[in-house]
Every structure is written in C-alpha cells, then in structure tokens.
Structure 1
Amino acid sequence: MPANSPDDSPADSPDHAPDHVPDHTPGSLAWARRLQLGEHTVNVRGTVPAGRQPILLVHGIGMSGEYFFPFAEVLAPEYDVYAVDLPGYGTTPKPERVLTLPELGDVLAEVIETLGLKAPVVVGHSMGCQVVAQALSGHPEMAAGYVLIGPTVDPDASSLLALAWRLARDTFIEPVSTNIVVARNYLRMGPVRYLRTARSMVADRLDASIVRCDLPGLIVRGERDPIASRAWIQQLARLAPDAGPAEIPGGPHAVQHNRPRQLAAACAPFLASVTRSAQP
C-alpha cells in the first residue's frame, strides 16, 4: 500500500484522472432479471451468462447497480458479471419497512442461490461491504472470495454526524458525473428511508462479521477516500481470516465508478487466484 499521503499527488494528473464513465447501461450488460424472493424484489443486470467465473456486484446505501456499471463493463470481457438493485434501491419496489443489514445479507444469499451462481466472487462497495460480509459470514461456502471497496463503518467515524461530514468531504473530490449518479439514486430512495438505513448501517459491526468470512478476500480503498481510512482497511485485513489490503492511487470513495480500469487492475491478481481455486 503506498506510503504517501492522499494529497501527495494531484487528482488531475494522468495517473490519477478518472476513467471515462458511461452515462447509460453499457451494452455488455444486456441481460436482466427481476427476482421475487418471498416478499422482496431484486433487480439484476449483467452479461449474458457464458459459463465463466461469476462476479456479483453489491451497491451501498442509497445507490443501485448503476453505480457499478463502469467497473462491470471493464470486467465483462473476461467474467460473467451481475449488478444487483437490492429491495428498495434503484427501481425495485420499496418494502413496507427498511431492511436491516442482516436482512439484506440474507436477501443477497438468496440472490446467489436463485441465480444458481457457482462459487462467485462477491464485490461490495461502501455499505454493500457490510451486506456482503453479513451474507458470507454465515455461508462462506457459497462464494470463491470477496472484494470490499471503501467499506463502512470506520470506527473513527461511527456516528451519523461523523459519517455525514466524511461523505460531504468526498463529494468535493468526486467527479461531477459520479455526483450526478449519487444524487439521482439518493432522490429515488428518499431522505426518511435513507436515514433509517443509515442507523442500521452504523449499528452493524463489519469488524465483527468479517472474522467469520472464512474465504479469500481483498479490501480496497481509494487513496483519497475520506470515508474508509487507510488504518480502517488495514485493521479489517488483519481481522479477516484470509484477506489483504489494496489502494487505488488518487482515488476517492467511488473508485468503481470513476476509476474502473485502475480498480480492475488492482483486483486482477486476486480474481485470477480465486478463479483458479474455484475451478474443479
């Protein structure tokens, strides 16, 4: 992990410039399904299944699979990629009440089972990392590995006010294109549902659930991410049974949206290793 501080390199230098971000669903994600899992609905968009290593992408609070489209498009030539909209997110119907993090983890486990994914790599971003950990801590056998990007909630900012301050700081270093996607999805969710979900997010302990994720993992942050600190990433990597840290140079919180190629390059050795391990 780089030893220099987040501000050592300018964000607009060639090595730190955001990747091109498509403003619509990429053509490579032409496959779509709406899953009815009991009383909950989940939308899934992805590549046409081709029997390759599956990768399942899980968004964070207030967001949807749209947040992962740029990263999915980079992965699509080599992997079967699926991006979910969890219940109450994106265009899925809103449940009567906000689901807790453990409940979202159960829904994610059902998605993997319903889609028939064999040994997927499950990738979470922000609060999606907590959802992934909830799902896999109880069922590590259902996946080949996991990737956590910008995980919440850093113990040094575990109150709603502290998280809001870090989120506000991140807004100023994200590209306009990323902030537009964030605003559009937040408006869909609505402030009341967002706040109730945030309370559940803060109550959930990723540092407790990750110790039960007994499978290979990679924990990633953007170098300039104010939400997931370097110390927090390193702490999670130490707590996990089998995980290592990585950092995207110059990256803010949403590296999967504005630095997808850099993120894919950082994940490539890990994805190759778990793919080989998952093969019969």
Structure 2
Amino acid sequence: MRRRRHPELERRRVVAGTHPVDVRGTFDPARPPVVLVHGVGMSSHYFLRFAGALAATHDVYALDLPGYGTAPRPSRPLTVPELGHVVAEAVGALGLADPVVVGHSMGCQVVVDAVKDHPGLWAGYVLVGPTVDPSARSLLGQGWRLLRDSLREPARTNAVVVLDYLRMGPIRYLRTARYMLRDRIEHDIRGCTPPGLVVRGSRDPIAQRDWARSLVRAAPDARLLEIPGAPHNVQHTDPQELAAACAPFFDTCRPGSRPGGPE
C-alpha cells in the first residue's frame, strides 16, 4: 500500500460566497489557525511541505482558489480584489477565528486585499515573496525575473510550478497576470492594520530586498524577515526553515499576546 505523503491533511470543498474553494487542511480547531494563499497559476500543492511543517503546532488550511488547482473554474478569471473577498468568505465558511493568513507571490496581493477589506477577521498576515515590484511591472519584467528564479530553484520545485501552470492554461494565466500587474499592493498595504511579516528568500530575484523593505515601510505594523540562501518558492524549497523563522511571529498573534515579530 502506497503511503500518503501528507496524511495529516484532509481534502474538503467549501463555498465562499458563490465560489467553490478546495481546501487541504488539518481541521483541528484546538490549534491556532493558519490559512495559506497561493500565487498566480499555482495551487495548494506547492504549500504542502510548508503545511506539513506547520501542522505539528497549528491548524493549517491550504486553499485552491476558484480556477486554480482542483477548484472549479468561474466563467472568467477573478481579479485580485475578488480573490481577496473569496479568501475572507472561505475563512467564514470554515468557521475560523482569528487566523493568520499567509500569501505567496501574487497570493500576497490577494492577502493584502483580504486584510485591508476585512481587518477584524485576522490575527496577522505574512507575505512571502510579494509581487509586484514597480521596477518590473510588466509581463516582460516579471517573465525575466521568473526565468532567473527558475535557474535557482531545484528541479522538483520547478516541476510543481510547471504542472500547475499547465493545469491553469496559458490564456487564463495571462489574463490573471494582467490583473496582478494592475494591482497596487504598495498602496493597499497601508490599510492593513493587523500585525504583518514580509518574508523573502535571500536569493529571490522576484521579490528583491529593496522592494520588500518598501512594503514594510508602507505597512502600519510589519517587519522584514529573510531566509538565507532561499529562492522565490521558499515555502517549497525550505519549509522547515520558513516555519521555524515565522514561529515567533505566529506566537505573538495568539490571543493575549502582544503584536510583534522578528527584527
């Protein structure tokens, strides 16, 4: 009998407003909840190693947003603000109280909209490898950085990325990427009042250090954290290191704790 790679995670489907969302989670309300939001073209798949690292101490939920992964496709790709609303609705459908929400890449833009528009819903937020750096706000600019990153990622990570991209399809990917480029996370983050943590791998060419620092400065309450030697998909390449580095921030987001995080 083949052993399941992530036996602690169950698959369920919830309805977020009018949109079905697929969830891989621990569904353990006795532990503090963490919600994981993927980037453009991706799915919960590339969060599984990180979810497994968190599952020992947290109630983890990795989402497949509408049109991504195994979730049904809406009639058109959803915009970044629409996806942010879906995330908030999914948290309500799951019955989660004061979760920390973690986004990766374009998922950071989705998370910022969800936090800005529903500030009382969250204990805190984490942005891992956030997009879009204004110095590369074009399909060409982002494509070049993505290519550079692919040369720094291990083969198994690139395989996960390519398979998810193929599942989404090039036309839907490009339409969604245009929404991503139009979104202004650097402005929206000013409305994120819960405590935040901005994380990047030190070898990430997509979310470069100066860009990450500018987001931290724009946020009302956020800190910067770097994972040494990690590329853009740090949650897949270095899940244990990322979980350990974020643990102090997660602890401060628990009820009764004082907001804060690593210096």
Smaller-chain TM-score range?
over 0.9
- Indicate conservation of the 8 Å contact 1:216/1:242, yes or no: yes
- Indicate conservation of the 8 Å contact 1:25/1:69, yes or no: no
Q: Partner of 2:247 in structure 1?
A: 268
Q: Partner of 1:28 in structure 2?
A: 8
| Uncovered stretches (5+) of structure 2, i.e. residues with no partner | 259-263
Q: How many residues of Structure 1 are paired with residues of Structure 2 in the alignment?
A: 256
Cα distance in 2 for partners of 1:172, 1:197 equals 24
1:232 to 211, 224, 231: 211
SS at match of 2:246: helix
Cα distance in 2 for partners of 1:144, 1:68 equals 20
Q: Does 1:165 align with 2:152?
A: no
Cα offsets for 1:219-256 (capped at 9, x unmatched): 00000000000001100001100000000000000000
> Alpha carbon RMSD of aligned pairs, Å?
1.4
> TM-score, length-normalised on structure 1?
0.89
Cα distance in 1 for partners of 2:233, 2:198 equals 14
Q: Partner of 2:130 in structure 1?
A: 151
| Uncovered stretches (5+) of structure 1, i.e. residues with no partner | 1-22
Task: State the structure with bigger RCO (CA 8 A, min sep 6), 1 or 2.
Answer: 1
- After TM superposition, what 4+ stretches of structure 1 lie above 3 angstroms from structure 2? 276-279
Q: Which deviates further from its counterpart, 85-94 or 40-49?
A: 40-49
Cα distance in 2 for partners of 1:38, 1:220 equals 30
Q: Which amino acid aligns with 1:54?
A: P
Cα distance in 2 for partners of 1:205, 1:114 equals 28
Give the direction of change, closer, same or farther, for the CA distance of 1:38–1:112 in structure 2 (3 Å limit).
Answer: closer
SS at match of 1:226: coil
- Indicate conservation of the 8 Å contact 1:25/1:66, yes or no: no
SS at match of 1:33: strand
Identity of aligned residues (%): 58
Q: Partner of 1:15 in structure 2?
A: none
Q: Give the deviation of 1:37 after TM superposition.
A: 3.0
Q: Give the deviation of 1:212 after TM superposition.
A: 0.3
Cα distance in 1 for partners of 2:45, 2:4 equals 8
- Indicate conservation of the 8 Å contact 2:17/2:86, yes or no: no
Q: Give the deviation of 1:25 after TM superposition.
A: 4.9
SS at match of 2:27: coil
Cα distance in 2 for partners of 1:247, 1:134 equals 23
Q: Give the deviation of 1:39 after TM superposition.
A: 3.5
Q: Give the deviation of 1:94 after TM superposition.
A: 1.1
